[in-house]
Every structure is written in structure tokens, then in C-alpha cells.
Amino acid sequence: MKKLVLSLSLIVAFCIAMAQPKIEFDKKTHEFGDVHEEGGKITARFTFKNVGTEPLELKNVKPGCGCTAANYTKTAVAPGETGFIDATYDPWGRPGQFNKNIKVTTNEENSTPYLIFIKGNVIKRPPTKYELAGYKQGRGEVRVKENSVRFDVKNTQTHLDTFYLRNFYENGTPISVKLEQSQYITEQSRSFGDQINAGTEGYIVLKYDATKRNGWGNLKDRAVFITNDSVEPRKYLYYNVTIKEDFSNLTAKDLAKAPIAAYDKVNFNFDTIAQNTSASDVVKITNTGKSTLVIRKIESSMPSLTYKITAMTIEPGQTVNLTWTFKAQSRRNGQDATLDIITNSPNNPEQTIRVKGYVQR
């Protein structure tokens, strides 16, 4: 009797094990061959069949990079029925060969993800009239040649930049150009009037005034040219600026009375922590100088590293605690983050606190 019960149990377990969904692709690679960069997005359809005995579900369809996107069957596929996965690739700006994958995860028991591939070669498009003139960015018929700048400047200084514009209209249409001015980005001069004539190039000189910016360290700002270009009326100019405090005018007497920032520790290692947990520690900042120490700015290199500080001003002889916390969340493997501290201490105005560790799944 015991042998019979055992045999029946084995048969039932075998039947349950056999009752599983099973995916079978008509193909796992699609070769597009040669495609033209300017030809628009291309799509390959991968058809699959459920050759199992239970409904099949696609749990996750994840493109291998931002170049591909997937539309797919989102309902359960009954045994014997078929579904699809569409893989889309945008060749614009990506001349040359490509080989992209999509990872497909199903509800099959103990199944590893499947990989399907799209391959091909993008034939580079001929340069546009804008690119031939050196204008590779933007849209519309009025364009800015270089719309971003990067520079360092003292908090007592200003900085000038020249931005070149061209009106590509060929029908004689002049385009008005006006700067949307801010308190610290202002127009100084231009090579044309209120309008730039069709088929011509001109320039506008802008001044960045760090004395009015009221900011420290790495800053991202922008200015805007307002035009009547029908396609892109607002032309954005991007500033990546680092503002540092100017201590050059301090005398020996000033320096003797200046604040001094002293840190008890600047490198931390939290060893190994699990996902969705956190690690923390304390940095002690002491003012060993003779006047008030002001913490201008504290900037984290990643959202996972946060901080709390007991005060942003420190009197001579006093100490404040800066508590940092690293939240592992869904991160994994080695981690390396920083807190950049900017103060009015002439001997050490910038200090980096480095936090390292390992997050285990």
C-alpha cells in the first residue's frame, strides 16, 4: 500500500512538473541589413508560441540600452497560441553597425531570461546645410553654433562669452532675436540690430556676473534667446560654471584672523551592507581659526548619499557634526560617493568627504 501511495505521489508530482508554460520563438535574431540614418525608426517583430500546457506570461521585456524599445503581448498566452515582441531602433545619429539585445523574462519555472537580438548597419546620412555651416545643434531655421559654455570664475569676477547665430532662411525673412535677461546674465553687444537678416551670421556677447549669482561651487545656469523662428522660437544657452571664493585680496593680517576648517576624518568605508538598508557616520568639523567659519555649500555626488549638519556657521573653537547616510535601496556592488564641502576658510575652502562600501543583494 505504501509503495502504491508513493508511486501515485511521484506520478502527480511528475504531471505537475510537466504542466508548465514554455516559450518558443520563431527566431531570436533579426538582421535589418543596411538602413539609412535619415529613414526613420525601424521595427522587427519576434513571434513566439506557447508550446507548454499552462498560460504563458511575459513578466519583463527589457531593452539592452536606450537605443531600443519594445512593444509586446501583455496578456497571458494560452497553450498553443502565439504572441509577439516588437523591437524598435532609431538610427538617427547612430551611423555604423549595431547589435542590440532585449532580455525577455517569462513565468516559466526556474527559467533564465531569454535574449533576442536586432542587428544591422546604419548608412550615414549626408550632412545638412546646417552642419556644413558648422551648426550641428538645435532646430529651426535660426540656430546657435555652440549653445553651451564651461568655465571657472571667482566670486568677484565677470566672464564674457560670444555666441554665434545664423539665419538659414532663404526667402529673405529676417528674424528677431532678444535675450531673456537675468540679474547675472546680460547682453553686452551684438553684430546686428534687433533682427538678423536671412542668409547671414552674427554674434551676441553675453556677460556672466558671478558677483550677482550668489552661488558657490558647480552651478548649472541657462539663458534664452527669444526669436520668431516658427520651429524653435526659444534658443537655450547652457552654462556650466564653477564659482570659487576670491581670497587674493586678503592681507597677512586678514589671514591671521581667518577661519580654519579642520575635519577629524574625510574617508569612510562602510564595508558591506544589504539592499534596502543604510549606513551612516559622523564628520566633526572644527573651526580652529579666529573668525566665524561659514559653510557655503554641501553637495552630494549621488541621491543615495544624504547628510544632516547641526549648523552652517561655526564660531572659533566650536565643532559641528555632519552626519552622512548612505541609503542602499536597490543599488548593488561597489559604491563610491562624495560630499563636497565649500567654506570661507582660505587655507582649505574645498573639502571632499569620500564614502565607499559594498552593497550585497
**Cross-strand partners of 161:** 206
Please check the confidence at residue 11 and state whether its pLDDT lies above 60. Answer: no
Counting residues of the chain whose pLDDT is more than 90, the rounded percentage is 88
- Local confidence band at 66 (pLDDT 50, 70, 90 cut-offs): low
State how far the Cα of 336 lies from the Cα of 86, in Å rounded to an integer: 38
Answer whether 188's CB lies under 8 Å from 160's CB: yes
- Local confidence band at 3 (pLDDT 50, 70, 90 cut-offs): low
Helix (H, G, I), strand (E, B) or coil at 208: strand
Q: Domain map of the chain by residue range?
A: 20-123, 129-244, 252-360
pLDDT tens digits along 253-298: 999 999 999 999 999 999 999 999 999 999 999 999 999 999 999 9
Residue range 20-123 in CATH 2.30.42.10: no
Distance of CA 90 to the CA centre of its chain: 20
Q: Which three cell numbers stand for residue 117?
A: 537580438
Q: Which fold has domain 252-360?
A: Immunoglobulin-like (2.60.40)
Q: Which CATH number fits domain 129-244: 2.40.50.140, 2.60.40.10, 1.20.120.140, 3.10.450.50?
A: 2.60.40.10
State how far the Cα of 231 lies from the Cα of 320, in Å rounded to an integer: 54
Mean predicted confidence (pLDDT) in 164-191: 94
The full length of the chain comes to 361
State how far the Cα of 342 lies from the Cα of 350, in Å rounded to an integer: 5
Q: Which three cell numbers stand for residue 128?
A: 545638412
Query: What is the reported pTM?
Result: 0.75
- Local confidence band at 13 (pLDDT 50, 70, 90 cut-offs): very low
CATH topology identical between 20-123 and 129-244: yes
